[in-house]
């Protein structure tokens, strides 16, 4: 027992010495290096972009209206045509024969009409003679100057002359009807002959032929020969949210609404020694908003709008896709922050604000619209506040930072697009310093009732 006590005593003494001393302290973490930006309000043009489908105002099917053998195609597929240009020719031989026969029937009807008129004149003369003779002998019957038999003969002659005159008048009416029928047959034959020559009804571009020379066309399955579409001007149809309608209508009524149609991702023309690639200067055209649909889709909450734009260079084609950008005017005293200065937390979008004591604090912002690489903020920030733009990864509320330098304020360029919304409930938080996820084109952020440009 004493031996155990003697062995343990040095250990207890050592522990007592250690407990009487001070514990070693860990060094304080160094300040985090960041870059900042002072919020300076500025006026920016507000634009919203939407995916669009190109459509033609006029699309016409070129059809063979009479059956026959396709004799010629006067213009090659894909050519630009104008009204009256000869496109196709159907063999007209049988229709010329039908027209000649119809013209012959017209001539026959005209001859019959002349005969009927001549007979009517003879009947009229005979009626006049019979009527005169009857009137002259009418008073002689009672005096016995003429016999009863003679008077009966004069009466019968007058009745016969009247009947002949009536028949002649009926023959004239019949001959006129025959003339009209023959003339109609001739006009129909002339019309069918004219349909053998197929011309362009509009200014546009010819498509690919569906029938070729030597084919029998004009039947039920071979009537359509080609399609002509108007290619200048064109329509760009897009479907914005109904929530955007007040802003668009307001800008239109104020005269500040502009419309631009672009073809993003266009391929450049190949040049010797230079490979083809996507051009930075996408083909674009200024247009005009010409159509608002009369109702909103119940399932999509969107409505159809159309922009009409010129296509003289032929860069756009019906059926293709483009980007429509509407200018809604100017946003006055807009608060802009770089996208790189924002981070998402669940359904919120936040920034780090630098205080005068060198500490940072997160602040929730409400985005209104995106403008190039910046975000227009509706609420959550005010002029003069300093936000962190670089070095967000290690920041925590209340930590000290070292400002390595401020970005210049008010040097933003680019169009305004719909603002990126905050991440949906349950979505993973974006890494600090990364740009928030971009929304679908043309879908405005939730919340704000007032839009830029209204």
Query: What DSSP line would sit under 303-320, residue for residue?
Result: --EEEEE--TT----TT-
Lowest mean pLDDT among 85-89, 124-128, 276-280, 411-415: 411-415
**Does the predicted TM-score (pTM) go above 0.85?**
no
The pLDDT-based confidence of 269 (bands split at 50, 70, 90) is low
CATH (residue range 62-91+196-229): 2.40.50.100
Of 56 and 347, the structure prediction assigns the larger pLDDT to 56
99: helix, coil or strand? helix
pLDDT on residue 262? 93
pLDDT on residue 369? 75
pLDDT on residue 68? 94
- What is the CB neighbour count within 10 angstroms for residue 396? 11
Spatial separation of the C-alpha atoms in residues 280 and 50, rounded to whole Å: 19
The pLDDT-based confidence of 25 (bands split at 50, 70, 90) is low
Spatial separation of the C-alpha atoms in residues 314 and 326, rounded to whole Å: 22
Class of domain 52-56+232-326: mainly beta
Tallying the residues shown for the chain, one arrives at 454
The pLDDT-based confidence of 216 (bands split at 50, 70, 90) is very high
Domain ranges of the chain: 52-56+232-326, 62-91+196-229, 96-194
Q: Which whole number is the average pLDDT over 193-202?
A: 95
- Can you give the C-alpha Rg of the chain in angstroms? 47
pLDDT on residue 268? 65
pLDDT on residue 1? 40
The pLDDT-based confidence of 451 (bands split at 50, 70, 90) is very low
Instruction: Say whether 62-91+196-229 and 52-56+232-326 share the same fold.
Output: no
Name the most confidently modeled range: 16-30, 228-242, 400-414. Answer: 228-242
The pLDDT tens digits of the residues spanning 278-290 come to: 555 678 999 999 9
Cβ atoms 21, 388 nearer than 8 A: no
Residue 352: name the closest of 37, 59, 43 by CA: 37
Cβ atoms 322, 316 nearer than 8 A: yes
Measured CA to CA in angstroms, residue 304 lies from 231, 235, 243, 297, 380 at distances of 21, 12, 13, 9, 34
Q: Which whole number is the average pLDDT over 398-402?
A: 86
Spatial separation of the C-alpha atoms in residues 380 and 341, rounded to whole Å: 14
The pLDDT tens digits of the residues spanning 303-335 come to: 999 999 999 988 999 999 999 999 988 888 889
Q: What is the mean pLDDT of the chain?
A: 81
Lowest mean pLDDT among 44-48, 294-298, 416-420: 416-420
User: Max Cα separation, the chain?
Assistant: 198
The pLDDT tens digits of the residues spanning 219-244 come to: 877 899 999 999 999 999 999 999 88
The pLDDT tens digits of the residues spanning 122-135 come to: 989 988 988 888 88
């Amino acid at each position: 027992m004493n031996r155990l006590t003697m062995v343990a005593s040095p250990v207890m003494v050592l522990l007592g010495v250690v407990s009487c001393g001070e514990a070693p302290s860990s060094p304080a973490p160094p300040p985090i290096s960041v870059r900042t930006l002072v919020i300076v309000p500025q006026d920016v043009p507000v634009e919203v972009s939407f995916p669009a489908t190109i459509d033609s105002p006029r699309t016409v099917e070129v059809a063979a209206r009479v059956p026959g053998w396709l004799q010629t195609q006067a213009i090659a597929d894909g050519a630009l045509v104008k009204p009256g240009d000869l496109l196709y020719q159907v063999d007209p031989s049988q229709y010329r024969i039908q027209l000649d026969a119809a013209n012959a029937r017209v001539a026959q009807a005209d001859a019959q009409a002349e005969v009927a008129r001549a007979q009517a004149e003879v009947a009229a003369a005979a009626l006049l003679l019979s009527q005169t003779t009857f009137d002259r002998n009418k008073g002689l019957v009672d005096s016995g100057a003429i016999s009863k038999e003679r008077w009966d003969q004069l009466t019968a002659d007058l009745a016969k002359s009247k009947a002949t005159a009536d028949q002649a008048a009926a023959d004239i009416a019949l001959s006129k009807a025959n003339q009209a029928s023959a003339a109609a047959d001739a006009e129909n034959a002339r019309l069918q002959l004219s349909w053998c020559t197929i011309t362009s009804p509009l200014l546009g571009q010819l498509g690919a032929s569906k029938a070729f020379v030597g084919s029998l066309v004009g039947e039920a399955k071979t009537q359509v020969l080609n399609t002509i579409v108007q290619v200048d001007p064109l329509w760009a149809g897009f479907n914005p949210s109904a929530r955007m309608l007040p802003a668009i209508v307001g800008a239109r009524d104020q005269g500040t609404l502009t419309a631009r149609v672009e073809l993003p991702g266009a391929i450049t023309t190949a040049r010797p020694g230079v490979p083809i690639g996507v051009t930075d200067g996408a083909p674009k055209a200024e247009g005009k908003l010409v159509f608002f649909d009369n109702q909103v889709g119940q399932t999509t909450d969107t409505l159809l709008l159309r922009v009409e734009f010129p296509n003289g260079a032929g860069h756009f084609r019906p059926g293709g896709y483009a980007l429509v950008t509407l200018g809604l005017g100017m946003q006055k005293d807009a608060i802009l922050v770089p996208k790189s200065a924002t981070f998402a937390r669940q359904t919120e979008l936040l920034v780090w604000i630098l205080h005068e004591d060198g500490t940072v604090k997160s602040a929730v912002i409400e985005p209104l619209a995106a403008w190039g690489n910046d975000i227009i903020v509706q609420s959550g920030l005010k002029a003069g506040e300093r936000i962190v733009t670089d070095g967000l990864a290690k920041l925590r509320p209340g930590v000290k930072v070292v400002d390595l330098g401020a970005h210049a304020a008010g040097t933003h360029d680019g169009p305004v697009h719909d603002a990126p919304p905050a991440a949906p409930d349950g979505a993973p938080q974006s890494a600090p310093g990364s740009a928030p996820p971009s929304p679908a084109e043309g879908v405005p952020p939730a919340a704000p009732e007032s839009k830029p440009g209204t």
